[in-house]
């Protein structure tokens, strides 16, 4: 290990400070033979090229990680994406996961909630509680977090177009628990741009969606500064069929658009940018995925520093959550999915993720059973405590292949971002279908490889077996919808409807003007205005996006 002045300074400052922050992981690590495992490995000669492209963990350009000690300091947050049926059933699953060692919650909402409809809306028929939990009003959110202390749990919410409403409900529940907004930790996805190209749960046109997002940025920076205001998502872009380089390119292109929108709205870069977070997919090509994460970190650091002039190191760091690839799970031989998820989770850890969700083996068939969820969580715990990969920072750095792949993905993604910008930017490319076509073409080529046999998917196009016994799957009882509608009717009967009407009228006037919408949404939520009522007010002013 070369002890040049830069390395010595790093060890004496950043490393020491980090070790003081995390004393529980401060001890030396040894392998099974009793040999000490180095905290981090460096080449013998650290030259200018090395510092420019790799540097030190916790230092620009963050190729080797955003924290000086990474998992030598503390493990990633182990989340399990959960939510189904109604708030009471999901609350039971959350508390079970916390008892099993989950260190953060990640909420799945049902489809009506994701697109701003109440459970009693005709558009919701047949979908209530099916792919996530149904949340109609603050009353549901109170049940969802019953006996879960929000000052001690980090919560991630996969919600986009109605993100402001669900965030307001979360803040209101915290206040009822006696938890101040400043103590809240977590993330809202709040990434609408990727909905137009990859997922489809949009409500409002892009311009109006960007207004709501920047309103959230501004309000959160003043009221809940520890909360991540957006999780800019490449996950769904990859699930739609993109390549690794496309996932990075379109994710960062979206991020550039959000940053520019916030700057245009008068926000200061080093105030809001440090709360931006990202969400990536971990697919099965282990080494390419590791390189992808490292390339994305380096690209974002350079974009924030060189393009936007961010000077706060926290504004230059790409902090990200990872989920294993749902589109790789197969209905055939579902136990094979445990192996796939293990490889994918390992790529995320080797790539330096801050947070991780591991899919369950049966998710190609249904929502996961409790047993399957436990196995998925245990996968993370085995990697953390038994594999040894968390004992050294960025252990694959310096591999010729890893560094070549990191450089390749960076170049391909940078070139693709330039094409988007030359075509008028993300919004124009969405409206013209450019991004959608890029993803569709990649998905088509991938599927052709599977159908021709050039790409082997174990159990699908090779190594098949006859399966007679089907595993148990979780089914949501159809009575859930009836019960949810009845509960919603009770909420509407018992609330102060005059106050609700006044709050909604105030929101409508604010939406027609330039005021920040978050205080008005929070006021309406506290009066038990429903998600659908709030979104319908905004629909009347903003309109709806039609593809």
Domain architecture of the chain: domains with CATH: 1-32+39-71 (no CATH), 75-385+399-452 (3.20.20.240), 485-542 (no CATH)
Write the CA distances from 359 to 185, 284, 356, integer angstroms: 23, 13, 10
Query: Distance between CA atoms of 243 and 245, rounded to whole angstroms?
Result: 5
- CA angle, corner 14, sides to 302 and 221, nearest 5? 60
Residue with tokens 């190191």: 313
Helices (H), 351-495: 370-386, 400-422, 426-432, 434-452, 479-494
Which two tokens mark 254? 């979206």
β-strand pairing of 154-157 with 227-228: unpaired
Dump pLDDT digits (tens) for 17-76: 776 776 656 567 888 888 888 888 888 888 888 989 999 999 999 999 999 989 988 999
Q: How far apart are alpha carbons 345 and 351 in whole angstroms?
A: 10
pLDDT (0 to 100) of residue 3? 59
Both structure tokens of 460? 């699908």
109-141 burial: b if 16+ Cβ within 10 Å, else e:
bbbbbbbbbbbbbeebeebbbbbbbbbbbbbbb
Instruction: Look at residue 1 in the predicted model and tell me its pLDDT.
Output: 42
For the record, the structure tokens of 352 come out as 């330096």
d(CA 202, CA 190): 11
Question: CA 276, CA 260: separation in Å to the nearest integer?
Answer: 13
Angle between helices 518-526 and 497-512 (to 10 degrees): 170
Supply 204's token pair.
């409002």
Question: Nearest 5°: CA angle at 279, between 276 and 281?
Answer: 160
Extract the residue ranges of the chain whose pLDDT is less than 50: 1-2
Q: What is the pLDDT of residue 2?
A: 45
Interatomic CA distance for residues 81 and 245, integer angstroms? 25
Query: pTM to 2 decimals?
Result: 0.94
Work out the widest C-alpha separation in the chain, in whole angstroms: 73
H or E element in which residue 83 lies: none
- Cα-based distances in Å from 255 to 189, 213, 238: 12, 12, 16
| H helix count then E strand count, the chain | 23, 11
Q: What is the pLDDT of residues 496-520, one digit of tens each?
A: 999 999 999 999 999 999 999 999 9
């Amino acid at each position: 290990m070369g002890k040049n002045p830069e390395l010595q300074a790093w060890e004496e400052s950043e490393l020491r400070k980090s070790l003081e922050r995390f004393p529980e992981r401060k001890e030396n690590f040894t392998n099974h033979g009793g040999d000490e495992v180095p905290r981090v490995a460096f080449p013998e000669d650290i030259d200018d090229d090395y510092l420019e492209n790799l540097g030190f963990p916790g230092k620009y350009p963050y190729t080797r990680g955003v924290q000086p000690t990474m998992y030598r300091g503390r493990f990633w947050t182990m989340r399990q994406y959960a939510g189904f049926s109604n708030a009471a059933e999901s609350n039971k699953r959350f508390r079970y996961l916390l008892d099993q060692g989950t260190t953060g919650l990640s909420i799945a909402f049902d489809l009506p909630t994701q697109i701003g409809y109440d459970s009693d809306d005709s558009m919701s028929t047949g979908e209530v509680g099916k792919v996530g939990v149904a949340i109609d009003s603050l009353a549901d959110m109170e049940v969802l977090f019953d006996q879960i202390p929000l000052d001690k749990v980090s919560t991630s919410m996969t919600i986009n177009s109605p993100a402001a409403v669900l965030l307001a409900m979360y803040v209101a529940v915290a206040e009822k628990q006696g938890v101040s907004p400043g103590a809240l930790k977590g993330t809202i996805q709040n990434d609408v741009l990727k909905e137009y190209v990859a997922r489809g749960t949009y409500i409002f046109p892009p311009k109006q969606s960007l207004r709501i997002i920047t309103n959230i940025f501004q309000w959160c920076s003043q009221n809940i500064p520890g909360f991540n205001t957006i999780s800019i998502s490449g996950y769904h872009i990859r699930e739609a069929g993109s390549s690794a380089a496309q996932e990075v390119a379109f994710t960062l292109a979206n991020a550039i658009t959000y940053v520019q929108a916030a700057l245009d709205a008068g926000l200061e870069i080093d105030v809001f940018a440090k709360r931006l977070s990202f969400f990536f997919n971990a697919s099965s090509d282990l080494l390419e995925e590791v390189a992808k994460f490292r390339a994305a970190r380096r690209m974002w650091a350079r974009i924030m520093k060189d393009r936007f002039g961010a000077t706060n190191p926290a504004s230059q760091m790409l902090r990200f959550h990872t989920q294993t690839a749902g589109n790789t799970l197969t209905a055939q031989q579902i136990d094979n999915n445990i192996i796939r998820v293990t490889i994918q989770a390992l790529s995320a850890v080797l790539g330096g993720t801050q947070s991780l969700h591991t899919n369950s083996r049966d998710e190609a068939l249904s929502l996961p059973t409790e047993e399957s969820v436990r196995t998925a969580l245990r996968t993370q715990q085995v990697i953390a405590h038994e594999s040894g990969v968390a004992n050294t920072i960025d252990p694959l750095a310096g591999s010729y292949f890893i560094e070549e792949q990191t450089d390749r993905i960076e170049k391909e993604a940078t070139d693709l971002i330039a094409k988007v910008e030359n075509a008028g930017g993300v919004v124009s490319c969405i409206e013209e279908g450019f991004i959608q076509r890029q993803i569709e073409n990649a998905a088509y080529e991938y599927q052709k490889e599977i159908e021709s046999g050039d790409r082997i998917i174990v159990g699908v196009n090779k190594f098949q077996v006859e399966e007679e016994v089907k595993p148990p799957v979780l089914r949501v009882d159809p009575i859930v919808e009836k019960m949810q509608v009845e509960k919603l009717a009770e909420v509407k009967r018992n609330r102060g409807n005059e106050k609700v009407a006044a709050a909604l009228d105030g929101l409508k006037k604010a939406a027609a003007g330039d005021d920040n919408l978050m205080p008005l949404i929070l006021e309406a939520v506290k009066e038990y205005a429903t998600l659908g009522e709030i979104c319908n007010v905004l629909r009347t002013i903003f309109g709806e996006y039609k593809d």
